[in-house]
Amino acid sequence: MLKYRNTEYYYKEWTTWNGKLACGYSCQDKDLLQHTNVVSFGARSDAEMKLKIDDYLDNVDHYKELQRLHNEGCAAYYAEKRASGDNYTGD
């Protein structure tokens, strides 16, 4: 486990289907991603991972607004479906 700006992320290595070695970084930090629909994200380098973490941390208001817009869009979509007699819930 690695840590940057109090955010946990991981370095992983694996073998691809054709036998080649691959590697990358992944993050599933719930505190970092609490304002998004993102559960995890990846990066090819440590520097790229740190840039992505910086973006999430430094732009919290932006991600909150994106989440609000997403939620409102979903609510409007389902309200329109219900109003037309369609009980589709996305399942």
Please determine, for residue 76, whether its predicted confidence score (pLDDT) is greater than 80: yes
Sequence spans of domains, the chain: 2-83
Please determine, for residue 36, whether its predicted confidence score (pLDDT) is greater than 90: yes
Mean pLDDT along residues 57-83: 93
Q: Distance between CA 7 and CA 26 in Å, rounded?
A: 11
- Reported pTM: 0.83
Nearest to 24 by CA among 54, 55, 50, 49: 49
Is residue 21 a contact partner of residue 13, using CB atoms and an 8 Å limit?
A: yes
Q: What per-residue confidence (pLDDT) applies to 7?
A: 98
Helix or strand or coil: residue 9? strand
Q: What per-residue confidence (pLDDT) applies to 51?
A: 98
